[in-house]
Amino acid sequence: MSTPLDVTCFSDANFNAKAWINASINLPSSNENRDTTTSIDAPPSQSAASVEQETAAMITKLQLASEEASRQVGQLTDQVIKSMPHILYEVKLITDDARATHQGIQKVKENMGGVDLGTDGALDKLRQLHLCKTRMEDCLSALMEAENWNNLESEVSKVMNNNDFEGAESRLQDALSYLGTTHQPKP
């Protein structure tokens, strides 16, 4: 039975390949396979053959781990590519809403410009100002969301270029969960 290959340390910024290889080859489980009666004076060919076997096994395990990582990256990339049209559509909707809000604010400004108001008129003006403020805050929130979606692709690309696939997955899941919470109907 082969021991699993520990590749978690590969993401460490101070990863030392030589130390990892030496530690992997000198695993205690590999010593169990050796004859305990073998002395230091044993022929070097036995030790070299054992090291070669361990090295070949480690290379195979690394190749399998590499293929699995490539498969996961492919799946993640496919998911991102499939979601891009939806994201672009959402950005267009947000942009259209921002333009409509801006036009509404301009109309309110024009309508309120030269009117002399009494108490009721002043309250109406305050209501309209509050409505404009609320809509502007909603617009700001929507624009910030659009900016976050625009930045998402570059963030994910940078994370993936650093081979931090778990970080990329986490960032995409955060973005998708944020999308789910922001599009819930308001009570």
Residue 156 covered by a domain: yes
Residue 33 covered by a domain: no
Instruction: Pick the range with the lowest mean pLDDT from 48-62, 74-88, 171-185.
Output: 171-185
List pLDDT tens digits, range 46-55. Answer: 577 788 888 8
Residue 71 covered by a domain: no
Domain containing 97 equals 76-182
Alpha helices for the chain (secondary structure H): 17-25, 28-32, 44-112, 119-161, 165-182
**127-165 residues labelled b (16+ CB within 10 A) or e (exposed):** eeeeebeebeeebeebeebbeebeebeeebeebbeeeeb
CA separation for the pair 16, 10 (Å, rounded): 9
Would you state the structure tokens that stand for residue 6, as one six-digit string? 């520990």
List pLDDT tens digits, range 62-74. Answer: 888 889 889 999 9
Residue 80 covered by a domain: yes
Residue 83 covered by a domain: yes
Residue 18 covered by a domain: no
In this prediction, residue 99 has a pLDDT band, given cuts at 50, 70 and 90, of very high
How many domains would you assign to the chain?
1
* pTM confidence score: 0.38
Residues found in the chain: 187
Residue 95 covered by a domain: yes
Residue 31 covered by a domain: no
